[in-house]
Structure 1
């Protein structure tokens, strides 16, 4: 195979790789896809994953510290004496292993394990945060899209009314000012629709930024997505209990207390004696010594094995200071956990209040929207038949628009708060 053929194949593989990566970004997004994509691709989450991998490597190194080491050395020296040059060579192996050091290594392994678990929980907490942000941004898109649907229907009605009024004006059955009012309303409806469409594009941009995909990337939200009607919820006490038992920030706080307690034991262990076992093998050669090279290597070969006991006597209060700091860190970890639990229960309670209020507002807004929709339908029919004046119709239309916006907003707000509240209790957000 020629080198040009190899280059061509490499180029094809490179293009295929980039094509595969490009296909990884979906063209049509539902909420579940958006959440899973963010969990996988989000830069902050992946940064935390790398920190977790670093913690894993630290754990591996800590476990390896209990193993004996082995060092080989080769020396070659040329020394100038008055008697002449002396050439010496040396070859050796040495090893040592810690037999006892006040359980420092054991506690260090435990500390690294706790650090790794905490790092993994930080990843989970970040995934929870991005899930909430994605859900809110996604529902804002659905809200804007549904609002546009209603406004398009409203604009169609306004357009029909203007056309009818233009015919009536030609025949002299309505005044010029009545036609102008309808035309102004039609123009305002177009403006409102354009504003809603701009809002939709802004909401899409917000979600794309959260997903960290290029703004030029094609992006379409699934047309099948709908919001759920209010559901039966856990009572507040049950929700708070579930959150305290399942949320990663609480587990992380509990592990941090264990970690600081382990660091305290590590600090105390330096007060205890340490015992290590060491050994070495060595041989050498010198051109000024009698005997051949092989004879000298064999004759000077020796083995060494010994125990070393180190007893700390005075370390300028380093250990006592570290112990005091470790005790302070334990108290800080306990206070931090208490603060985390307090904040979490307050957030759950806030979510509970929000969802209760949102569901009540949704029920009221739905009822209001139903009535105003029917009232506008009757008013439009009466206007078409000439039994209703334009001013009354426009008043009814304004009431309808207000009720429409309140209904759509309440609908998606209730859905969002319900999802957030359930999410605190461990219910995943998937649609």
Structure 2
């Protein structure tokens, strides 16, 4: 029984690391980054701040209510609250009040500030979405870099194994006099170069994996295994790029941010102009008091004084700005400049978006053609490398010829992988501008 229990525990313990090290797809990495990235969290904090500012702008329409309590001890000559005449006895005085005030008109400053706060909140939401999109695309690129490094490691390791086998064959052939010691030395040098290149690419892979974890917000000590994505050869035309540009102009979060920034600047300018208009305020309150003579008794009770001394008031005030040392005019001028700047930024973002989409469409078409040509080159270099190795075994080619052919094949395979990954990234970028979601709200 104990043996069976230990066996079950062992199987469970062995299965846990396998589950933890399950390969991550690029979609899973992008989703994780959208939920855990440091930059995304910073944008979410900014959004919360804009929501608090909107709540404050709404509260500006509500009346202000204040309660007050004060106490005072008079010594020597003072006014007697009961007779309203001077006296020279010590008196204790308490006052209680409740006041409320409401701004009736302020040149629509509160209204425009509320619209400004709403525009800032909408801009904050677009900022979160834009940051998630940006980090998702960066993660996709970093994922492709890691896949490239791992592919280069695999190809280099394969070449290293081939060089090791060729060195063994050359050593055997040198013992029977078919190859010289120079050929053996050359093969050893080739193997050493392959091992160095393999160690270098393994180091680059480690760095690429750390860079991907940092972008994702994944702990550096976490396991992260990736899988190579699939590739397709669909080519988009120039007409597709123009249609994508028209769609992205109404869907891209950075365009939304620029548009909301223009709206925010416009309402900010209107609020500044409202400061030049009069302000009308309504106020009212109740107050009461209690006093006692500290040198002699005979004062009324607290409850009777609290009731009998109670009074109410209501007031309406009009404040007309006449001169504030040009502060209002300077603010208006600055906010006019901010509005023009926001409009210019919107125009730039729209122009930049069109440029990026046209460039991305061109990159997709070009990278797809590059993949086709590199596939042909890899096939040709593979045949050349096999023939050169066979000639070397037959004594018709030198070790340098074998090395050159093997290096050429390795470079072609690595360049093919790089071209495929570049093509995949360009297509993902273009699909994003077409409206494809990089992440989903959980």
Q: TM-score normalised by the shorter chain: which range applies?
A: 0.7 to 0.9
How far, CA to CA, are the matches of 1:26 and 1:274 in structure 2? 66
Contact 1:27 1:218 in 2 (8 A): no
CA contact (8 A) 2:235 2:364 kept: no
Instruction: Give the whole-Å Cα distance in 1 for the aligned partners of 2:99 and 2:21.
Output: 58
Indicate if the aligned counterparts of 1:121 and 1:251 stay in contact, CA closer than 8 A: yes
Native 8 Å contact 2:31 2:438 kept in 1: no
Matched position secondary structure for 1:84: coil
Q: Is the 8 A contact 1:161 1:384 kept in 2?
A: no
What pairs with 1:146-185 in structure 2 (closer than 5 Å)? Answer: 146-185=151-190
- Which deviates more from structure 2 when the two are superposed, residues 107-116 or residues 130-139? 130-139
Alpha carbon RMSD of aligned pairs, Å? 2.4
* Deviation at residue 86 of structure 1 after TM alignment: 0.8
The offset of 1:214, in angstroms, is 4.6
Counterpart residue number, 1:74: 69
Q: TM-score, normalised by structure 2?
A: 0.84
Contact persistence 2:21–2:225 (CA under 8 A): no
Distance 1:402 1:43, change over 3 A: closer
Matched residue, 1:375: 384
Give the Cα separation in 1 of the matches to 2:274 and 2:401: 87
Q: Which residue of 2 aligns with 1:219?
A: 223
Q: Distance in 2 between matches of 1:190 and 1:301?
A: 96
CA 1:151 to 1:291, structure 2 compared with 1: closer, same or farther past 3 Å?
Answer: closer
Which of 260, 264, 272 matches 2:265? 260
Deviation readout 1:33-67 (Å, 9 max, x if unpaired) = 32223222222321221121111111101101111
Comparing 133-142 and 192-201, the one that deviates more = 192-201
- Pick one of 233, 236, 240 that aligns with 1:233: 236
Distance of 1:278 and 1:53 partners within structure 2: 33
- Give CA-to-partner distance per residue, 1:7-40, whole Å, 9 cap, x none: xxxxxxxxxxxxxxxxxx9875332232223222
Deviation of 1:302 after TM superposition, in Å, equals 1.4
Q: Is the 8 A contact 1:227 1:412 kept in 2?
A: no
**Contact 2:159–2:406 (CA<8 Å) still a contact in 1?**
no
Partner of 2:137: 132
Q: Deviations over 1:344-388 (max 9, x none)?
A: 222223323322222221111111101211332344345446665
**Which of 14, 18, 41 is 2:36 aligned to?**
41
TM-superposed deviation, 1:258: 1.1
Tell me how far apart the structure 2 counterparts of residues 341 and 50 of structure 1 sit (CA, whole Å). 27
| Deviation by residue 1:208-233 (Cα, 9 ceiling, x = unmatched) | 33334454x0333234x324223343
Moved more, 169-178 or 48-57: 169-178
- In the other structure, the counterpart of 1:18 is none
CA-CA distance at 1:334 after TM superposition: 0.9
**Residue in structure 1 matched with residue 85 of structure 2 by the alignment:** none
- 2:117 alignment partner, one of 112, 117, 130: 112
User: Does residue 101 of structure 1 match 2:117?
Assistant: no
Q: Which residue does the alignment assign to 2:347?
A: 338
Deviates more, 1:309-318 or 1:243-252: 309-318
2:91 aligned counterpart, secondary structure: strand
User: CA offsets per residue over residues 115-155 of structure 1, 9 Å max, x none?
Assistant: 11112222222222222221111111101111222222222
Q: State yes or no: 1:249 paired with 2:254.
A: yes
Q: Is the 8 A contact 2:119 2:260 kept in 1?
A: yes
Unaligned segments of structure 1, at least 5 residues: 1-24
The unaligned stretches of length 5 or more in structure 2 are 1-19, 78-87
8 Å Cα contact 2:43-2:124 kept in structure 1 = yes
Q: Distance in 2 between matches of 1:159 and 1:325?
A: 73
* 3-state DSSP of counterpart to 2:366: helix
| Contact 2:236–2:364, Cα closer than 8 Å, also in 1 | no
Larger deviation, residues 379-388 vs 341-350: 379-388
Gap change, CA 1:380 and 1:413, over 3 Å in 2: same
Residue number in structure 2 paired with 1:322: 331
- How far is 1:392 from its partner? 4.1
Quickly say closer, same or farther: Cα 1:194–1:427, change in 2 above 3 A. Answer: same
Identify if the C-alpha distance between structure 1 residues 157 and 26 changes in structure 2 by more than 3 Å, giving closer, same or farther. closer
* Residues 265-304 of structure 1 aligned to structure 2 (within 5 Å): 265-288=270-293, 291-304=300-313
Deviation at 1:266, TM superposition (A): 0.8
Question: Matches of 1:26 and 1:249 in 2, distance apart?
Answer: 36
SS of match in other structure, 2:61:
coil
Show the counterpart of 1:365. 374
- Give the TM-score normalised by the residue count of structure 1: 0.86
